[in-house]
Amino acid sequence: MPPVQPLEPSVPPPINGNWYLLSVRSKKRDLFLKYLKIAISQNNIQELIMDIKTPQESVYEDIVLLNLSTFKTAYTYLQKIEYFQSIERKPLQLEQVSRMLGSL
């Protein structure tokens, strides 16, 4: 049996799950992310908000991508976070997420 080859670090992990597009107030994404991480740890909602990605292109500067297990429950927490603006109710297609993150 051949040895298992480690994955190359340059290969991004596969994008899967239910990804939602969240908008924050203009130029406030970094502050929103700081408050979001505090809210996740204080409320123990790591299983609810499973992953957070921020597209690097400037056209997405006020966008955050969230991988949520339950939209409705996550929304109640998200709307209480400073600089939160809105979130799309329908999950993004995985191709859209990959394109926004530049992994295609």
Annotated domain spans of the chain? 26-88
Task: Write down the pLDDT at residue 68.
Answer: 97
Sign of CA dihedral 68, 95, 13, 104: negative
Of the pLDDT bands very low, low, confident and very high (cuts 50, 70, 90), residue 14 is low
Residue 103 pLDDT greater than 70, yes or no = no
- What pLDDT shows up at residue 102? 87
- Is residue 70 scored above 80 in pLDDT? yes
**pTM strictly above 0.75:** yes
Alpha helices (runs of H) in 1-104, residue ranges in sequence order = 29-43, 71-78, 94-101
Please say if the pLDDT value at position 13 is more than 60: no
CA 9 vs CA 5, 6, 22, 76, 95: distances in Å = 12, 9, 28, 36, 21
**pLDDT over 50 (residue 69):** yes
